[in-house]
Amino acid sequence: MRPSITDGKILKILRESKVPISTYQIAKKANVVWSTANSHCYKLKSMKRIDSKTEKSKFGFGEKIIWWIK
């Protein structure tokens, strides 16, 4: 499986980030909808290019996934 243009944007965003960032932040910076960023992040994770963990959200009651370059 080859990385797409969106995958490249996500990898660039994560390389430039000093800290792990959420799917929402990635979507905003890549100018894509959240679901697109989410599916591409999981694709990159399956390719062992990035990693993630789940954190409690500071606002509200949910959890969020944060991503970083492996």
pLDDT above 90: residue 60: no
Distance of CA 38 to the CA centre of its chain: 6
pLDDT above 80: residue 57: no
Q: Which of the four pLDDT bands, split at 50, 70 and 90, describes residue 61?
A: confident
pLDDT above 90: residue 70: no
Both ends of the chain: CA-CA distance in Å? 18
Q: What is the pLDDT of residue 19?
A: 96
Domain spans of the chain, in order of start: 5-69
Q: In sequence order, what are the beta bridge partners of 69?
A: 50
CATH annotation of 5-69: 1.10.10.10
Beta-carbon count within 10 A of 55 CB: 12
Residue-wise pLDDT tens digits, 4-53: 999 999 999 999 999 999 999 999 999 999 999 999 999 999 999 999 99
